[in-house]
Amino acid sequence: MRVSVIGCGYLGAVHAACMAKLGHQVVGLDVDEAKVADLSAGRPPFFEPGFGDLLAEQTSSGRLEFTTDPDRIADAEVHFVAVGTPQLQGRYAADLTYVRAAIDTILTHADTSAGPVVIAGKSTVPVGTAQRVQESANASGKDLVVVWNPEFLREGFAVEDTLKPDRIVYGLPDDPDRASIGKRVLDECYASLLGLGIPRMLTNQPTAELVKVAANSFLATKISFINAMAELCDATGGDVTQLADAIGYDPRIGRKFLRAGVGFGGGCLPKDIRAFMARAGELGVDEALTFLREVDAINLRQRDKAVDLASDLLGGRFVGHRVAVLGAAFKPNSDDLRDSPALDVAQQVWARGADLAITDPAAATALRSKRPNLNVVDTVDEAVRDADLVLLLTEWREYIDLDPVVLRGLVRTPIIIDGRNVLDPQRWTDAGWVYRGMGRHGGPTTAAGW
């Protein structure tokens, strides 16, 4: 099939390369010339395991090209919309500027003279957007069918998640004839995935839009739930990792996404729950989602708690103390600094006067340009040398595997805050460290009432 992908950021670039891998002829369109030049040359503009090889393979196969020229998308049978929907400055709502621009481009350039063409929305949008897009498409006089086809990929697993998704959702138009065209075209597009037995769900447009934000809200809620339990553990002497293990054995709960720590960040969960609340307000059902305010507040409080814990361990002041921060990206296997809890904590510690050194295996370059105030170093050894406190904030494998005995020889004072609860407290304590996790034996044991 001939496929276009509008927007070649994280989602779009990976989707385009994966569609080429499935055998389609793909054009990726983006307004950013530098990004298009990188992608065309087979150079990934971001860090993502497996993407570089796939990109190089597909661009040289001749099935995948990137362009800034919208005329090149004209003959596609399906146009995927994969542009960003960031949070509006100073507001909760999503900024739909890029979605509108992408749709305008399709309405202007799509050639429907040979039959109906599908617009497949992948961007995370406020519910109701697909119907508006369909109305604009109808008004354009072109034969365009809008299907909302949300994407659930995780950074760090983007290629794997695109080529082996848990499910594929089609949000189809209400008109049965239009719906059957949308279904037929996307079935052809995803034929090799559907052949693997990946579940496909057919629903209407609003449900498909809601599926995405509901999934992300649920994941965010799970993380904030366990972080709330971490606060209780800190207040009582409990251990939140053991608590998570114990409740996670219940298959109705499950252990995944119950890792307490400095909380969630990135380009999706924080802004998606806020945009969802804003949309609920517009729809007059804001009360249905007020709990997400608390989810957001618990999440942000974890960052402050990490800073307060660091301050306590340093005797109440950062000035005159050297602090090493391990990790800046919002999660491992990513160089993404968007709304990163690690970066937020590091910035706060720096702002309070610490002599701070920060390192990250993938995000160092992005970090240097985004936060020139911070002392970014290339290795763990440089970061921790003579430190009075080590903060582990992104759980890169190489940090989990650090040897506490070796590290002890480099620091001035062996105190570590495990902001992701990934280290073995006993091992670090045995090596002479003061170990503090988040919700792991952090506070006094109280036996109120006895």
In the complex, the residues that contact ligand UDX under the rule CB under 6 A are 152-155, 216, 219, 223, 257-259, 261, 263-266, 268-269, 330-331
Q: How far is the CB of 309 from ligand UDX (least distance, A)?
A: 16
How near is the Cβ of 332 to ligand UDX at its closest, in Å?
8
Closer Cβ to ligand UDX, 27 or 342, answer by number: 342
What's the min distance (Å) between Cβ of 424 and ligand UDX? 18
Least distance from ligand UDX to the Cβ atom of residue 26, Å: 21
User: How far, in whole angstroms, is CA 362 from its chain's centroid?
Assistant: 16
Residue 80 near residue 15 (C-beta atoms within 8 A): yes
Tell me whether residue 346 or residue 387 sits nearer to ligand UDX (CB atom). Answer: 346
Q: Write down the least CB distance from residue 124 to ligand UDX, Å.
A: 8
Rg (CA), the chain: 24
Q: Which is nearer to ligand UDX, 330 or 435 (CB)?
A: 330
Residue closer to ligand UDX by CB (options 13, 144) is: 13
Which helix (H) or strand (E) element contains residue 434?
strand 434-436
Residue pair 313/434 in contact by the 8 Å Cβ criterion: yes
Q: Where are the alpha helices (DSSP H) in 190-329?
A: 191-194, 205-236, 240-248, 269-282, 290-313
User: Beta strands of 13-148 (E only): which ranges?
Assistant: 25-29, 64-67, 78-81, 117-121, 144-148
Residue ranges of alpha helices (H) inside 237-254 are 240-248
Length reported for the chain: 450
The H or E element spanning position 409 is none
Helix or strand (DSSP H, E) at 39: helix 33-40
Residue 27 vs 438, nearer CB to ligand UDX = 438
Q: Is residue 241 within 8 Å of residue 440, measured between CB atoms?
A: yes
Structure tokens belonging to residue 345: 């904590």
- In the complex, minimum distance from the CB of residue 259 to ligand UDX, in angstroms, rounded to a whole number: 3
Residue found by looking up tokens 């990513």 in the block: 334
186/260 with CB nearer ligand UDX? 260
d(CA 430, CA 443): 20
The runs of H, that is alpha helices, within 352-436 are 364-370, 380-384, 397-400, 404-408, 425-430
**Given 8, 18, 189, 268, which residue is catalytic?**
268
- The residues pairing with 3 across neighbouring beta strands, listed in sequence order, are 26, 78
Secondary structure class of 252 (helix, strand, coil): coil
User: For ligand UDX, which is the closer residue by CB, 178 or 222?
Assistant: 222
Nearest distance, CB of residue 155 and ligand UDX, angstroms: 4
Tally Cβ neighbours within 10 Å of residue 71.
11
Beta carbon of residue 256, minimum distance to ligand UDX (angstroms, whole number): 7
Active site residue 268: yes
Q: How far apart are CA 84 and CA 81, in angstroms?
A: 9
Is the Cβ of residue 100 or residue 154 nearer to ligand UDX in the bound state? 154
Q: Give the residue numbers marked as catalytic.
A: 268
